Structure 1
Amino acid sequence: MIDKKLLQLPGIKKVLMLLAGSAVLQAIFIIGQAYGLSMTITHLWNGEGLNKQLTWLLLFFVSFALRHLMTYLREHALEEYAYQQAKDLRSQLLRKIFHLGPQVVQKQGTGSVVTTALDGINQVEEYLHLILPKMLNMMIIPWILLVAIFFMDWESGVVLLIVFPLIIIFMIILGYAAQSKADKQYKVFQVLSNHFIDSLRGIDTLKFFGISKQYSKSIFTTSERFRKATMSTLKVAILSTFALDFFTTLSVAVVAVLLGLRLINEAILLFPALTVLILAPEYFLPIRDFSSDYHATLDGKNAMDEVNQILELPESQDATIGLPTWSEDSQLDVNMRFNYEEKLGAEVDFIVQGYKKIGIIGMSGSGKSTLINLLSGFLRPDESQLRFNEHELPAFDQPQWQEQLVYIPQNPYIFQRSVRENIAFYHPQASDEEILKAIEVTGLTDLLNELPEGLDTNLGEGARTLSGGQAQRIALARAFLDQERKILLFDEPTAHLDIETEVELKERMLPLMENHLVFFATHRLHWLAEMDYLLVMDHGKLVEQGTLAELQQKNGAFTKLSQALRGEKA
């Protein structure tokens, strides 16, 4: 039930010692309560006055107050610890995701990663808050109380000792059933998260093709699966809670009946009988508390497993190599191969020198985006011979390479921040004058004039939304603002724009490419005349390379691709 990863958390030993000490003190205070209350009732039964019971009443109330004070202090300390660990875990998770790049999101699914980073971490926090004290209480308190019960009445102690393991075995059996149901529920929840996010992101396309209602039915079907999985899990959880409550209540009733019969037969005195009767429900209370939150701890354990699965994904173990800034005299030799599980991702061999515009052209699925992801360091090649000037590189995930990159994808991400913060993404120290210059160069002046708060206007979801062309201009403004980054990676930046917007953006983009090394993936033919060198991709392989004139003269793969893109017959 306890995830072994919990024992590796920083400061966990100190917390466990604190909880163990708290459990011991709570057990002592419970015994003090029972002792004081039993003494008071016994003396009153014997005809003594209430004023003579002040000492025992004081023992009861002091023990009661100290017990709940200990609970409060324990909960406060544990809440702080769980919050801090959840905060650190979320930071580790986000750093890991940012370091691994887009492939981890593609593999796990956007909805799943977002759910894990938000709700999942909250469930882990609740898991820490619930599982640690309940497990320690269940391991310590019943046995200290059992010693006290044996001291008062060994026969009742034997009954309770026999019943407790039976309840534990029953709880384990139900626990396995609940674990299986909870695992299934969590997997269905991940599917629902991914499905919903994907459908939401593609809602415009779905409506354009008139199939949005069809996808709404699909989301409804998936949500119904999640509802049924949740209800099935809750049934097992409620059944286990009911069963444990029933058996523990029955056990206390058995002890009470046996004590009553022995009192009638004068086989036991009133004081030990009362003390045992008061301690018996407390003996079972830790296991009942654990059972009541069992389902919540299962959710937290599943979430923690998911977080650890991402945190344990392998990263580059290569030593950091000091690389120079790309310049007119720089040279890059690239020979690498990357394979997906079922097909070739990209296999290329080319050399680049100085500031050039390198066009990467091919049909959809030809490996253009894979090559861009390899060049950005988001993917690591399976085989490679890479050289930057005199430096040998195993892959492009070197920090001093990535610090020189500006990456502009098909759909640039607009943060829920101001215009100023969005444009200054790569260059946070930029002045307003520099930002306004970038806005002017990229044609965003009209948009800025329309915004009520100018550069302070918030963008993104829940605020001012942007069209595809405006989002691309924001991305271009980011690139223009940071002139120190000399390598530009464009992954079909105009693929989703209409031709008028694309032509207008093209006029803004070409000046930004001057004095830069540019890798520009596209399947739009009108860009090719602007490129200094072309790489032709087909089914993951680099099948041709050269200038536009050279490729046209060869009448090979490039010519066939051009005809296919124009819709002409070969």
Structure 2
Amino acid sequence: MRPLDPRLLRYASATRGTLAAGAVLAALQTASIVAFAWLVTDVIVRAIAGERLPELSGTLVLLGVVIAVRAVLLWAVDAVASRGGARAVGQLRERLVTAVGRLGPGWTSRRTSADVTLVAGRGMEALDGYFAKYLPQLIGTAVATPLLVVTIGWRDVTSAIVLLVTLPLIPVFMVLVGWATQAAQQRQWTALSRLSSGFLDVVAGLPTLKLFGRQHRQEARIREVSEQYRVHTMRVLRMSFLSGFVLELAASLSVAVIAVTIGLRLLGGSLDLSVGLFVLLLAPEAFLPLRNVGASYHAAAEGIEAAARAFAVIEEAEAVDGAAQQEGTSRVASETSGLVFEDVTVAYDGRTAVDGFSATALPGELTVLRAPSGAGKSTLLAAALGFVAFEGNIVADGRVDAGGRREALAWAGQRPGLLAGTIAENVALGEEHPDAELVARVLHEAAADELDPETVVGAGGSGMSGGQAQRVAVARALYRLRSRGCRILVLDEPTSALDARTEERLVAGLRRIAAEGVAVLVVSHREAVASAAGRVITLEARQEVAHVG
């Protein structure tokens, strides 16, 4: 990410207001700095000339006012940066979460949950340092430094020339240090991702590790990754201290050059004391923003790396949305009901997952999609939901756009995806005021009427069996079907964890729902489900053959 990535303005609009307010405050700060230097110079020169304290009192009072104004402006800069940064980080996090939702479960399944949560959590929090420390100094460099150089040049051209020659040295050092820091920060972030992912994997698989007596080997692995993270973190800190020293040295030597030239000219009588003292007070202020930018870059480096990763996710989601918007006009009439796949091809990661698939799930019929593992069943469903880019056409209840298809579908995936809360809250997911009668009805239709809607479950459905969690997920899809009037129901392996009797009850319920005029498409390997279907579609690897039962 560049010092100020244009994508930040695009995805976090609050950044624009922060930049505008920061520029105004930086200009006011520069004016107060010039006023302070002018008044201090005036007081010293007049005191040397022999004026007494009463004669200087008016200027001293004005100097006190300027000092108070500078303090207020410093507070205002911090307040604007912190508040604007909080809003911008919130907007960016919202865009990131929305992008993950658009990319869908197919995208998240190819990544560890730690990668996503690390960027959305710690990564976004690290951006606070970027907005609170780095961005104000960057604005100050863009606004204050040119104004101060012009002011110094107005009073003393020679000192302004020295400034123009020495100032570029600091950006050169900053670029060199920035490259090294960026590489070190990337390695640190990668180590942190590995540490987070490894720890979560160990926690999730701890029962299996204990069973096979391999928990101690994982302990050693986590210790090794933790040590790598410590080493990379210390390298970043070492670069931070060394770069701070280099920037301070360069700025101090540059100011010293100006001070020496002013001293020599004062001794030679070619420069007035008031001019020399005024320039000498302003020279360090001209270097200060650049020095602070270099020093604060390291505090913002982690947030910058996280923002770059967040931008990559957001842009990937936009690419998927763009591909969906460019889908060709379907040859299937827009009035067509049910779920229609027309010559659908899906390719990702350099391979073709589905090639030229065509099939239809009609209203009033239970349709079962069967295929060997890896043939692309779940990929087809992800494409229908708008989570995967594809070629061809998919029509859901007459809607060809991704958003329209999602509105027309009620869906339950292979993983129940339950949240911590009551069963009723999971069934009526997202509803502010769940319909208790409807919750009870859909639990009955999902063959889960033995479950109490007020039972509290943990994250991921902990406290329930796999079959119970599966039926609650089906009930959630049915609740959406009933409450929103959807006409298409899609279920991915809804009976894989059920016994034969419960499976028979659920399948009977699905047949009754189909008889109401709903297009029901079930992905399943189970023979009992296929035998109850009105239509069975067999998808072979890279091809499909449809059989009507």
TM above 0.5? yes
The structural deviation recorded for 1:60 is: 1.9
Q: What are the superposed Cα offsets for residues 329-371 of structure 1, whole Å, 9 maximum, x if unpaired?
A: x584654332343443124343443333333334432333223
Structure 1 residue 279 corresponds to structure 2 residue 282: yes
Corresponding residue for residue 554 of structure 1? none
Contact kept in structure 2, 1:179 and 1:298, CA below 8 Å: yes
The structural deviation recorded for 1:30 is: 1.0
Distance 2:130 2:422 in 1: 36
Contact kept in structure 2, 1:35 and 1:60, CA below 8 Å: no
Pick from 126, 137, 140: which aligns with 2:140? Answer: 137
Pick from 350, 360, 375: which aligns with 2:369? Answer: 360
Amino acid at match of 1:541: Q
Corresponding residue for residue 535 of structure 1? 537
Secondary structure of 2:27's counterpart equals helix
Contact kept in structure 2, 1:424 and 1:435, CA below 8 Å: yes
Corresponding residue for residue 556 of structure 1? none
Contact kept in structure 1, 2:422 and 2:457, CA below 8 Å: yes
Corresponding residue for residue 172 of structure 1? 175
Amino acid at match of 1:247: A
Unaligned runs of 5+ in 1: 548-570
Structure 1 residue 72 corresponds to structure 2 residue 75: yes
Amino acid at match of 2:419: F
Q: Relative to structure 1, is the Cα distance of residues 337 and 31 closer, same or farther in structure 2, using a 3 angstrom cutoff?
A: closer
The structural deviation recorded for 1:65 is: 1.4
Q: How does 1:1-400 map to 2 (within 5 A)?
A: 1-6=3-8, 8=10, 10=13, 15-107=18-110, 109-124=112-127, 126-207=129-210, 210-256=213-259, 259=262, 270-313=273-316, 314=319, 315=321, 316-318=324-326, 332=340, 334-347=342-355, 348-382=357-391, 384=392, 398-400=402-404
> Structure 1 stretch 154-163 or stretch 470-479: which is displaced more?
154-163
The structural deviation recorded for 1:467 is: 3.7
Q: Relative to structure 1, is the Cα distance of residues 6 and 99 closer, same or farther in structure 2, using a 3 angstrom cutoff?
A: closer
> Structure 1 stretch 472-481 or stretch 125-134: which is displaced more?
125-134
Corresponding residue for residue 522 of structure 1? 524
Distance 2:152 2:94 in 1: 48
Q: What are the superposed Cα offsets for residues 169-217 of structure 1, whole Å, 9 maximum, x if unpaired?
A: 2222222222232334334444545555555545555555554444454
Distance 1:162 1:48 in 2: 38
Unaligned runs of 5+ in 2: none
Contact kept in structure 2, 1:336 and 1:381, CA below 8 Å: yes
Structure 1 residue 425 corresponds to structure 2 residue 432: no
Q: Relative to structure 1, is the Cα distance of residues 356 and 16 closer, same or farther in structure 2, using a 3 angstrom cutoff?
A: same
Amino acid at match of 2:493: E
Contact kept in structure 2, 1:338 and 1:381, CA below 8 Å: yes
Structure 1 residue 473 corresponds to structure 2 residue 476: no
Corresponding residue for residue 405 of structure 2? 401
Distance 2:28 2:279 in 1: 19
Corresponding residue for residue 510 of structure 1? 507
Amino acid at match of 1:144: L
Contact kept in structure 2, 1:30 and 1:64, CA below 8 Å: no
Q: Percent identity?
A: 27
Secondary structure of 2:253's counterpart equals helix
Amino acid at match of 2:380: L
> Structure 1 stretch 296-305 or stretch 29-38: which is displaced more?
296-305
The structural deviation recorded for 1:243 is: 0.8
Q: Relative to structure 1, is the Cα distance of residues 417 and 42 closer, same or farther in structure 2, using a 3 angstrom cutoff?
A: farther
Q: How does 1:553-568 map to 2 (within 5 A)?
A: none
- The TM-score, its normalising length taken from structure 2, stands at 0.82
The structural deviation recorded for 1:374 is: 3.3
| CA RMSD, 1 decimal | 3.7
Contact kept in structure 2, 1:404 and 1:485, CA below 8 Å: yes
Distance 1:192 1:522 in 2: 37
Amino acid at match of 1:423: V
The structural deviation recorded for 1:124 is: 4.2
Amino acid at match of 1:374: A
Distance 2:346 2:92 in 1: 31
Structure 1 residue 460 corresponds to structure 2 residue 462: no
Secondary structure of 2:182's counterpart equals helix
Q: What are the superposed Cα offsets for residues 450-495 of structure 1, whole Å, 9 maximum, x if unpaired?
A: xxxx36x57427x975443332232132134343334332223454
